[in-house]
Amino acid sequence: MNQELKNLIRSVPDFPKKGIDFKDITTLLKDKNGLNDVLEELCNLAKNKGITKVVGIESRGFILGGALAVKLGAGFVPVRKPGKLPAAKISESYILEYGTDEIEIHKDAILPGDNVLLHDDLLATGGTMQAACKLVEKLGARIVQVSFLIELSFLNGREKLQGYDVKSLINYDNE
Ligand code: AMP
């Protein structure tokens, strides 16, 4: 499974800047069998766990996150970059290689009784997802699972997500 799916992902060297090997999932998304396979796999990992909300991270986490929410019979909640959400919200900043970044969620998007699945396309250093988990916990919900299509395990992003049930479908263990 890992290798068949890997064949559908395009690696683009030095994008968006030198030294980054960008994993382009558009080549997988346009393949109807590939798209269906990853959605089924992600859904199988998360089903029967009582998930009430799927939180997707801007922007590529919206694609499979939205589809997953429908398949799981859950609601969908976007976590967005600053300035995009129109109503009352909370923010969390996190550290990047150079500087910091911030993400936001609507205050009323998640309720204390919610069982949440967080989803993004790719786990690199884990900073983005760690911040997203903090937002969900600030709103009092329980994090049931954190899932990714792709994991770059050589960057050790899981260290930032200790204590959560972290799943990924495709792993790259070296650069
Ligand atoms: P991080 O916070 O370091 O785990 O970065 C994760 C976020 O950055 C995800 O939303 C990814 O979409 C994006 N990202 C980081 N590295 C890559 C990469 N090599 N290829 C594609 N997207 C990446």
CATH at 95: 3.40.50.2020
Neighbour order of strands in the sheet with 166-172? 75-79, 53-57, 115-123, 142-152, 166-172
The pLDDT of 102-127, averaged and rounded, is 98
Query: Which residue type sits at 124?
Result: A
For the annotated catalytic residues, the residue numbers are: 60, 97
Looking from the CA of 54 toward its CB, the CA atoms found within 13 Å total: 27
pTM summary value: 0.97
pLDDT at 141: 98
Q: Smallest Cα–Cα separation from 58: which of 112, 102, 14? A: 102
Which domain covers residue 136, as residue numbers? 2-172
pLDDT at 168: 98
Tell me how many domains the chain contains: 1
Q: 142-152 and 75-79 as β-strands: parallel, antiparallel, unpaired?
A: unpaired
Name the band, by pLDDT with cuts 50, 70 and 90, for residue 1: low
Residues with CB under 6 A from ligand 1: 20-23, 57, 60, 120-128, 157
Q: What residue's CA is closest to ligand 1, atom 9? A: 122
| Helices first, then strands: H and E counts in the chain | 5, 9
Residue pLDDT, tens place only, 157-171: 999 999 999 999 999
pLDDT at 143: 98
> Using CA atoms, how far apart are residues 38 and 1, in angstroms rounded to an integer?
10
* β-bridge partners, 172: 152
pLDDT at 175: 78
Q: Best substitution site from 22, 57, 128 to test ligand 1's pocket, by max atoms within 8 Å of Cβ?
A: 128
- Residue predicted with more confidence, 2 or 150: 150
Alpha helices in 7-124 (DSSP H): 26-29, 32-46, 61-72
Closest ligand 1 atom, CA of 127?
A: 2
